[in-house]
Structures are given as structure tokens and as C-alpha cells.
Amino acid sequence: MPPPADSLVLGSLGGATVGAAGKVPYNDRRPSGVGAVVIAHTPVDADAGLAALMAAAQGGDQAAYRRVLHESIPLIRHAARRAGVPPSGVDDVVQEVLLAIHRMLATFDPSRPYEAWLSAIARRRAIDFLRSSGRRASREVHEPVAYENHADDIDVAAGEERRRENIRLGEAVATLPEGQREAVQVLGYGERSLEEGAALTGRSKTALKVNLHRAIRNLRSRLSGSD
Amino acid sequence: MAETRLDDLIDGLAGRLVPVRRLRPPLLRAVFWLAGLVALASAFYVGLGGNAGLMGTRAYVLPAFLAALATAVLAAIAAFQLSVPDRSDRWVLLPLPTAALWLAFSGLGCLADLGVAGTWGESFVEMRQCLLVILGSAIPLSLLMVLMLRRARPERFGRVALVAGIASAAAAGAVLMLVHPHTSTVLDLLVHGLCVAAVIGLNVVFGGRLLGRTQEREPA
């Protein structure tokens, strides 16, 4: 029987404040249960925290489950958008993914990254959505006037999700080995050329290139990847 | 509006939450299935009086047996890996090299014996026994695999069913070579080829359908 979600989250995050940025987390508006009151003020941006919440949910902790599902919504939206789902369809994908999480709850292994597990499900649901909407579109009649009069979809959540994405990327970069982190900082964030990077770091251009390549591969598997 | 809908959905899902037993790692689940294969193979070996010592004396039978066994092991690992959402699609490729070797060695064994009496076929009784061993091992092993895979409610059910079919067919081939170690005749190859195709096909159609259904309904 896993310990209650609040102790797991506090324990695993160790009071981390990454991603708090003064913004009240989405689910803070709907605290429910004793556990949720305690964990509601603990930002759960770190993947380990989400994995711990999922472990608690597997043990039947409803408050932890509610919280991890709420925290998953921005990640699912991001994955759906990356797969090319239009803003009007993103929430349909979110709904499908939440149901899929519920069905496949037993398959999550808390020793592995939660985000990789979630984004694999989200990616497939997004592709399913695009396939089915493609089939629907092929059966629908083109109506230019209605199209012109239809208001554009405004994606209000995109800014917040970009911010979260940047935080996740920053966290992932911080966990890279030193050489790889240096390559990302100099060549990626710093937008330096290989020559400039080599001069700044004292490493050869080849070493920088290899480090950057390895860093990108590591980041890809850390953020959305699979093995 | 959309947020309210999602809030309601989350509340509903949380309200229906019951503790779940976490699935064991895919590798361990594959080992359980392989334990089933070992038990079945032992039963056939003892029941039908197999003579594995003959394996080394017949052309290409031992390499074909080892390749079939390796295919069964690797395909089982691939099937359980693919049943979990966050594992790569490339697991599907894992059993292909050994499957190619299995087919190649079976074919070579048949070619090596061309011209020898009995190459083109064997007695009806012997053929019936071969079929009994193949189907008698492929069917229970397929059922066991599908039952074990259902717990994961796999999303990639078509691909999972295909690899599960390869695992069961290869396992059945290995059991046959263990119990009845003879060089493949032309008729053998044809019948085995048909059986393997049938086992894989049935797994894809029925196994895929059974596994696909787990995606449509919510957990009990």
C-alpha cells in the first residue's frame, strides 16, 4: 500500500519550486480531500512528483489521481498540438487521453518517466484523431461562406504551455552530463557558431558537435521519447 | 466550457478509481510465458517419447531448432514490450533476424536431403502427429499470450497480436523439432509454412480483436 500522495510528493520534490512562478496551479481551484489540501500548494512540475502521484493513484488514492490528471492536461495539449491537432480538436484529444490513462493505469511503472508514458499515449490518440477527422473532412461539403464567417480558433492556453515546456526543457538540460550541457548552452541557447563555441569552451569543434548531437538525443528521449 | 467538461470527466474517473495491481515488467512477463512453453514442451517430450539426441545427427535441425527457440523468446519479449505504451515501436523488429534464420535453416535442411528417399513427404500417421504437436502447442500458447497481454489493454493491439503470433508459431516449431527431430521434407516445409501462417493469421484476427476490445471498454 503506497503512502498518501501528499507525503510522496513532498518527499520526492524536496520542496522544489520549479515552475511555480507565482501562478496558482490549475487544480488549486478544486481541492478535494485532505490530501489535496496539503499537496495543492506544492508545485508538481517535476516528473518524479507526477510519477509518485501516479503510484499513489494506482493504490487507489483519488485525490492524487485527480491531481495527476489535472497536471497532465497541459502536457497532453502540448503533445496534441505538436502532432498537428488543430486547437478546436485539442480538448477532444485530451478527453480521449484521460480515458486511456484510466484504462491503462496498471501499465505505468513509477520507476520510469511519467511524461514519456503520457506523451506516448497522447501522440497515438492525436494521430487517431487526425485520421478520423481526415476521414470526416473527406465526407463533408466545402462551404466557403461559412468558412469565411467562422471565427478563428484562439489558442488561449498556448502561452502557458510554452512556459511549462521551457521549464521542462530547462530541467532536462540541467540533468545532462557537463560536456553535453555546455554544448547546448553555447550552441543552442547562445546561438554561437562552432568556431566561436570551440574558442569559448576550449573544446574542439568535433567534440562540441558530438556533445550537441548526444545532448539532443538524450533530451528527445527524456522529454517525449521511448526506448 | 471545455474546462468544465474536463473537470467533470476527471471527477468521474477519480470517483470510479479502484486500486490496480501494477503490471510486472515486460521482461518478467515474457519469462512467465516462456515457463508455460517449457512446461508444454516437457509434456509433449515425455508424452510422445521424444529423442533430442537425434537432433545433432540430422542436417540443419539443431540450428533450425535454436533459431526457432530464439525467435519464440525474442518475439515474446517484443510482444510484452509493445503492450506497454511508452516502449518503442521498433520492438516489433526484434524477432525478425532469428525468424529469417529459422526459415533459412529449415529450407537448407530440406535442400541438403534432396534426392534422398522420403524427401518429398512422409507417412500420413507421422504427418498427423506433427500437426497434433504444432497445433497442440500453438493454440494453448497463443491463448496464454493473449490472456496475459489483455491485462495491459495494449493500444498497438494489431502489432502486438502479430508478434504474439510469431512467438507462438516459432515456439510450436521448436517443440516439434524437439519431439520429432528430422530434416524437413518438402511436404513438411509446406505444411509447417501453412501452419505458421495460420497461427500468425489467427492471432492477428482473433487476438487483435480480443486485444482491441480492451481499448473500447473501461476497466471493471
Contact with chain B for residue A95, Cβ under 8 A: yes
State the smallest CA–CA distance between residue B25 and chain A in angstroms.
Answer: 8
The reply to whether B6 falls in a domain is no
The reply to whether B19 falls in a domain is no
Parent domain of A9: 5-141
Contact with chain B for residue A91, Cβ under 8 A: yes
**Inter-chain residue contact A117 with B86, CB threshold 8 Å:** yes
The reply to whether B52 falls in a domain is yes
* B-interface mutation test, from A54, A73, A93, A103, most B Cβ less than 10 A away: A103
Same domain, A207 and A135: no
Same domain, A134 and A215: no
Residue B5: closest C-alpha in chain A: A95
The reply to whether A170 falls in a domain is no
Q: Which residue has the higher pLDDT, A216 or A32?
A: A216
The reply to whether A65 falls in a domain is yes
Structurally, chain A folds into a number of domains equal to 2
Spell out the SS3 assignment of chain B.
CHHHHHHHHHHHHHHCCCCCCCCCCHHHHHHHHHHHHHHHHHHHHHHHCCCHHHHHHCCCHHHHHHHHHHHHHHHHHHHHHHCCCCCCHHHHHCCHHHHHHHHHHHHHHHHHCCCCCCCCCCCHHHHHHHHHHHHHHHHHHHHHHHHHHHCCCCCCHHHHHHHHHHHHHHHHHHHHHHHCCCCCCHHHHHHHHHHHHHHHHHHHHHHHHHHHHHHHCCCC
Same domain, A100 and A212: no
- Burial-class residue B138 by CB neighbours within 10 Å (0-12, 13-18, 19+): buried
The reply to whether A156 falls in a domain is no
CATH of the domain at A40: 1.10.1740.10
* A-interface mutation test, from B1, B3, B10, most A Cβ less than 10 A away: B10
Question: Is-contact A76 A101, C-beta < 8 A?
Answer: no
- Burial-class residue A17 by CB neighbours within 10 Å (0-12, 13-18, 19+): exposed
**pLDDT score for B151:** 86
**Inter-chain residue contact B13 with A102, CB threshold 8 Å:** yes
**pLDDT score for A168:** 82
The reply to whether A162 falls in a domain is no
Same domain, A206 and A123: no
| ipTM value for the complex | 0.76
Q: Is the pLDDT of residue B211 over 50?
A: yes
A102 contact residues in B (CB cutoff 8 A): 13, 16, 218-219
**pLDDT score for A35:** 35
Confidence of residue B220 (pLDDT cuts 50, 70, 90): very low
State the smallest CA–CA distance between residue A124 and chain B in angstroms.
Answer: 8
**pLDDT score for B153:** 86
The reply to whether B197 falls in a domain is yes
Same domain, A128 and A182: no
**Inter-chain residue contact A70 with B21, CB threshold 8 Å:** no
The reply to whether B9 falls in a domain is no
The reply to whether A161 falls in a domain is no
Same domain, A16 and A112: yes
B2 contact residues in A (CB cutoff 8 A): 91
The reply to whether A73 falls in a domain is yes
Q: Is the pLDDT of residue B133 over 80?
A: yes
**Inter-chain residue contact B153 with A103, CB threshold 8 Å:** yes
The reply to whether B2 falls in a domain is no
The reply to whether A164 falls in a domain is no
**pLDDT score for A187:** 87
Same domain, A117 and A185: no
Question: Can you tell me whether residue A14 is helix, strand or coil?
Answer: coil
Out of A123, A141, A159, pick the residue that ends a domain.
A141
Interface of A with B in 96-125 (CB under 8 A): 98-100, 102-110, 112-113, 116-117, 120-121, 124
Out of A125, A141, A157, pick the residue that ends a domain.
A141
**pLDDT score for A42:** 37
* B-interface mutation test, from A99, A107, A117, most B Cβ less than 10 A away: A107
**Inter-chain residue contact B17 with A108, CB threshold 8 Å:** no
List the grid coordinates of B77: 519479449
**Inter-chain residue contact B219 with A102, CB threshold 8 Å:** yes
State the smallest CA–CA distance between residue A46 and chain B in angstroms.
Answer: 18
Same domain, A21 and A131: yes
Closest of A215, A218, A224 to residue A82, by C-alpha? A224
Mean pLDDT of A174-197: 85
Parent domain of B100: 24-216
Q: What is the pLDDT of residues B21-36, one digit of tens each?
A: 999 999 999 999 999 9
Q: Which residues neighbour A124 within 8 Å (Cβ) at sequence distance 6 or greater?
A: B85, B155, B156
Same domain, A53 and A109: yes
Out of A141, A167, A197, pick the residue that ends a domain.
A141
Structurally, chain B folds into a number of domains equal to 1
The reply to whether B179 falls in a domain is yes
Q: Which residues neighbour A84 within 8 Å (Cβ) at sequence distance 6 or greater?
A: A126, A130
Query: Which string of DSSP letters, residue by residue, matches A112-131?
Result: S-HHHHHHHHHHHHHHHHHH
Same domain, A52 and A135: yes
Same domain, A20 and A114: yes
Residue A71: closest C-alpha in chain B: B10
Q: How many CB pairs under 8 A join A and B?
A: 91
Q: What is the pLDDT of residues A102-145, one digit of tens each?
A: 999 999 999 888 988 998 999 999 998 998 877 666 666 666 66
B215 contact residues in A (CB cutoff 8 A): 100, 103
Same domain, A14 and A122: yes
The reply to whether B18 falls in a domain is no
